[in-house]
Amino acid sequence: MKYRVMELSAPGSQKSQALLLRSIDVPNRYTHWKQEQERRRLAALKGLGVPGTPREERFDVITRLLARDFDVPISMISLVDDKRVWFKSAVGLEGIEEISREITFCSHAIEAGHILVVEDALIDQRFCDNPLVTGEMALRFYAGAVIRSSWREPLGAVCIIDHRPRPMSYRDRRLLIDFAAYVAREMEGSGDETMASSLAGISQ
């Protein structure tokens, strides 16, 4: 992919006494950078060894807490592969283990700095015609905090979803980001067992 850059020849040059415009083809370095970033991200995800593994209570307790504390019908821990989004744990999506990356909000979330919040998908130009919004799921609210590897590569998101539009406070955004950081530590095998036990106790 290439784009056009205009080069100016200064007045008084040997080529012309007037300003001249000359088109030059140059590589789109941004596209190359994005492709390299995605390659590193997918390598980090593969190295994690989590996608495709059975669901575990240490993650299920988190999605149950998310559904309860944020009062939402759907919560999930997602990992974004090259063509699909796979759910390590989920509440409200019984029988669904993965979804196409092309339509998922999580694909947008991993490009966010820390969190993606869509308070009303019907009035958001990025998502208003998305089949998850216009179809049977009728998604209106989405918030996804990015799960990052120890090398800061975005792997997926800790998400909450509602069928009605709703605002999200700064406090709640910070809380969801904290949940994502905890999930990242658990996935890399450095989670705090004491914290995991306390989470399990709270959810019962």
Question: With contact defined as beta carbons under 8 Å apart, do 144 and 105 qualify?
Answer: yes
Q: How far is CA 30 from CA 2, 36, 128, in A?
A: 10, 10, 27
* pLDDT higher than 90, residue 127: yes
**Model confidence at 68, in pLDDT bands (50, 70, 90)?**
very high
pTM of the model: 0.76
What pLDDT is stored for residue 107 in this prediction? 87
What SS3 class is residue 131? helix
pLDDT for 167 equals 97
pLDDT score of 192 more than 80:
no
Under 8 Å CB-to-CB from 200, ≥6 apart: which residues?
A: 57, 58, 61
Alpha-carbon separation of residue 200 from 22, 91, 157, 203 (angstroms): 66, 15, 21, 5
pLDDT at 196 over 60: no
CA-based nearest residue to 117, from 176, 71, 41 = 176
Instruction: Please state, in angstroms and rounded to a whole number, the distance separating the CA atoms of residues 128 and 193.
Output: 41
Query: How much is the average pLDDT of 101-106?
Result: 89
The residue-averaged pLDDT of 37-52 equals 78
Nearest to 52 by CA among 97, 106, 114, 93: 97
- Check pLDDT > 90 for residue 150: no
> Would you say residue 72 has pLDDT above 90?
yes
Cβ proximity of 189 and 196 under 8 Å:
no
Structural domains of the chain ordered from first start: 2-40 (no CATH), 49-203 (3.30.450.40)
